[in-house]
Amino acid sequence: MSTDNYAGNKMMRAAISAPYLERDEEHELALRWSEDQDQEALHKLTSAHMRLVISVAAKFRRYSISMSDLIQEGHIGLLEAAARFDPHREVRFSTYATWWIRASIQDFILRNWSIVRGGTSSSQKSLFFNLRRLRAKIASTGEPTNSHELYIKLSDAIGVSVADVATMDARLSGSDMSLNMTVSDESESGNERQDYLVDDAPLPDATAENLIDTERRHEWLNDAMEVLNERERLIIQRRRLSESGATLEELGGKLGISKERVRQIESRALEKLRTALTSSHNGWAGAFAS
């Protein structure tokens, strides 16, 4: 017997043998744990509710996860409930704990059901755990329904978009597939599925070429900027070489001149740059066309 199965069976045996708690006894144990951090009270309280954990876990067996794992995750939810429970409210601990047990088990299933991580929002969780049930319920009506109409009905029932329903349905209908799997067992090439993925990024030689060209043009531009005076250089840098791109009015206020004067200076500076770049590196001056 594996360690996991042994631990699960041990928990089940302990749950069966644990005594039931009366309401007053449950309240007293919850108070002792909440106010005094009494570990013995916590143990008695949680042990008496392991039947509840097993009952909730049994409802999730169809997700192909071992019962022992589900019980252990439910036990974590039970401990979380005990840590958060307020015994001064008129609520039975079992009622409060059921939500935490179910939430802990559902989170575990979502993390382990597939190697592809799915959504963990409340709507996505509701979609994951209710899609099959609602689909079967709609199918049982006997009404002819195509996929799109079915997705619309499911979308309305669960409160998510039709696109989310279609995506989740595809996930639940298929199985995980490794990109390292060979395309065919009969193939002699041994090619893996990842060998046929399309990469939209530029080829390495194109990337290197672009990098070299960018560095070269940057150097050319720095050399050409030397022909400008201080005010022209400021205007070009703020207007043409800055991501924010200052307006004519902003620069006019900074330099104490009108925006029309800024435009004239910019035009003259661009012409000087074009002349400098054309004389030194013919064909590149078009980058500064206005």
Cross-strand bridge partners of residue 192: 182
Mean pLDDT by 10 residues, the chain (290 residues): 56 70 88 91 90 90 84 92 90 91 86 61 67 69 69 75 71 61 64 74 81 84 86 88 85 90 90 83 52
Task: Retrieve residue 289's tokens.
Answer: 């066309």
Give dist(CA 194, CA 242) in Å, integer. 41
Phi-psi region of 229 (alpha: psi -120 to 50; beta: other; left: phi over 0): beta
Q: What single DSSP character describes residue 58? A: H
Where b means 16+ CB within 10 Å and e means fewer, 39-65 reads: eebbebbbbbbbebbbebbeebeeeeb
Task: Enter the pTM of the model.
Answer: 0.49
What pLDDT sits at residue 178?
64
What pLDDT sits at residue 84?
92
Give dist(CA 160, CA 42) in Å, integer. 40
What pLDDT sits at residue 245?
82
Give dist(CA 278, CA 220) in Å, integer. 11
What pLDDT sits at residue 277?
81
Contacts with 23 (C-beta within 8 Å, 6 or more apart), sequence order: 92
Give dist(CA 145, CA 133) in Å, integer. 16
Dihedral (Cα; 118, 119, 122, 123), 10-degree rounding:
-100
For residues 65 and 20, is the Cβ–Cβ distance under 8 A?
A: no
Give dist(CA 270, CA 287) in Å, integer. 10
What pLDDT sits at residue 64?
75
Helices (H), the chain: 3-17, 23-36, 39-47, 50-58, 67-84, 93-112, 122-139, 147-158, 162-173, 204-224, 230-240, 248-255, 259-280
CB pairs under 8 A, 24+ apart, for 118-126? 118/168, 118/171, 123/158, 123/159, 123/160, 123/164, 124/160, 124/164, 124/168, 126/158, 126/159, 126/160
What pLDDT sits at residue 1?
47
| Amino acid (one-letter) located at 158 | I
